[in-house]
Structure 1
């Protein structure tokens, strides 16, 4: 089976890394990953070819395109060039599955290239190819939900053969944030959550590597680093207070998109304290969470699933611009898996107290389905053969 997987990131990197986990689940199949945002340092799995379209990002209000190629100012010409290259990619690879991340539930601005490709697939331009949408558990709220739902269904129903929701319906069902489920023509499948699982023993091996014996290890992260840097400030200021009663090691990951000024400031804040390290990113993040006694983080999909896979307790500060992170985190707090942080908890003394209490909190066992990548592969195999 040959899968062409389209993933366009515009703000953070979570969509891409979730997509990479799905690619790993498709290890027995050939995958062509097509991305079109800022270039990323991707370590491709053996079964994957990565093709980068001419780069596009969105303005902060998500209304206009920003070309990422130096010197490019003619956006319309760039859009035409992207579509032409996209068609060439489809013609060269002739996939069995066209897997589209998020669209049409999001990335509406990219319909300039996706709708023509989907229409050509319907016409059989590149042989027998099935179109499948890959979407996370919770959609962000819209000002006019009725209009949004109509627009999604108009693009979804004639163009897609299936929708794969990367969620466990025991925790969240898709109709909670998309009321048009009952009117969908393509069949909806729940895959379970897509989680990058640490290898057995990876956590202890990393503790040994870091020279951490019985000292509590705290890992702090803020996803891609575009937002909520105030959480890092809070933890950096709380750590010296906490260290007076709870000596610990603190590993902070600022995210690859943290500004150079912020990164330099964090390193300067940490310099007097030998137990604190500050880095932008690690390919071994799941291992760090498995090694940790406590995670302090935002509530993005990937970080949350890493936390569940590691069986580590967490303090979680959801990004509040929309409901996605807080809705998921509240469900998990109800199960005792983590504790929510609010803006009032960012005061250094309060944060130090909460971290001290959380270090000793045992991880809560759960039965949430984290086999989303493997289940996605099985479902795609079934869809191709149907």
Structure 2
């Protein structure tokens, strides 16, 4: 790298599910591979199977959500995350920013979410605004946002208008524009740019095998899906298929152990698949939640799919995305409150009868995000040079 190479800093913090981490990692890898000096400040519990390489990774003391309802923050071991801990983490973050002196700072999700991290993100924004040459501020968000109160939406709009330069939406407005889930998006239209959907490369087409893949992302939530699948397997349904149940790294150890007791010739319980998207591309059907990354994998592989959207504590994002695709005949939904072995069986049978051709949407989001961030960083550098006093 030369001194003329722009530097982009990503702030990545997950609290429950790891989908945000995977999406960010794909963008970060594309950016670093494009020759941009890329740093990641990571504040969650490390996710071993997700890599940010060749970007440089910097760790803050990890925190996570205390529960599925996002009632508060705790340390990685579940112990209290105190006011003193918050102050220490905030200072860690500011020291890293001062050391790195980025041209661009990207905050994943914030200020459209991650309000629990305001104890360190408010000082970060203040630090950025007070620099002799303020970095360009970018918010990186998914296609569909969680429904918020009008007051919360107004707070977000105010922050974007006052302290951010760009909002990078990882979606395609032809499929679902941001205003469908964020009604006041028109007030920040000037700052919105769509990248397309962020997903890995489409795998080579493979013959479908007698394989049923059941997955729940990181595993912090969704164990009921695996339990229903295990019960359906035990009933003798699809006895000629191989069943692959993937718990994810964050599932409680005792729940993993209970499921693992059911391992047999045609049912395998694993924490991680060696190559998840390859397994998906060979499967006759997938059963999963409906997070951004999982749905993109389903569309890329054109795999018949049953989804059980996460709806705890009035979560709306997964259900909204699922309903868009169900209306196009691309997957089958089972609601959390209706999930049983019988409803799962009916949904699997229905999913096999549906079309599974990938819709005509932009799925080059990782590469396009990298191109946009690189261009914005270079333009920002040039603008700052022109405005600098002689």
Q: Quick check: TM above 0.5?
A: yes
TM-score by length of 1: 0.88
Q: What's 1:225 paired with?
A: 219
Distance 1:306 1:243 in 2: 25
Long gaps (5+) in structure 1? 205-213
Q: Do the aligned residues in 2 keep the contact of 1:67 with 1:75 (CA within 8 Å)?
A: no
Q: Do the aligned residues in 1 keep the contact of 2:299 with 2:358 (CA within 8 Å)?
A: no
Describe the superposition over 1:341-363 as per-residue Cα deviations: whole angstroms up to 9, x where unpaired. 23576332443344245346552
Q: Do the aligned residues in 2 keep the contact of 1:216 with 1:359 (CA within 8 Å)?
A: no
Describe the superposition over 1:57-98 as per-residue Cα deviations: whole angstroms up to 9, x where unpaired. 23334343323379x757222222212221221122221210
Aligned residues: 369
Residue 147, structure 1, aligned to residue 147, structure 2: no
Q: What's 1:133 paired with?
A: 139
Q: What's 1:235 paired with?
A: 229
Instruction: Specify which of 43, 55, 70 is matched with residue 62 of structure 1.
Output: 70
Residue 12, structure 1, aligned to residue 5, structure 2: no
TM-score by length of 2: 0.87
Partner of 1:375: helix, strand, or coil?
helix
Distance 2:210 2:189 in 1: 51
- Using the TM superposition, give the Cα deviation of residue 4 of structure 1 relative to its aligned residue in structure 2, in angstroms: 0.7
Instruction: Specify which of 187, 193, 196 is matched with residue 191 of structure 2.
Output: 187
Distance 1:157 1:200, change over 3 A: same
Distance 1:52 1:20 in 2: 15
Q: What's 1:301 paired with?
A: 292
Residue 260, structure 1, aligned to residue 266, structure 2: no
- Using the TM superposition, give the Cα deviation of residue 195 of structure 1 relative to its aligned residue in structure 2, in angstroms: 1.1
Instruction: Kindly report the root-mean-square deviation, in angstroms, between the aligned alpha carbons of the 2 structures.
Output: 2.3
Distance 2:16 2:56 in 1: 23
Partner of 2:256: helix, strand, or coil?
helix
Distance 1:342 1:84 in 2: 43
Distance 1:345 1:185 in 2: 39
Q: What's 1:83 paired with?
A: 90
Long gaps (5+) in structure 2? 1-5, 380-390
Instruction: Specify which of 171, 175, 198 is matched with residue 171 of structure 1.
Output: 175
Q: What's 1:209 paired with?
A: none
Distance 1:289 1:374, change over 3 A: same
Partner of 1:50: helix, strand, or coil?
strand
- More displaced, 332-341 or 57-66? 57-66
- Using the TM superposition, give the Cα deviation of residue 317 of structure 1 relative to its aligned residue in structure 2, in angstroms: 1.0
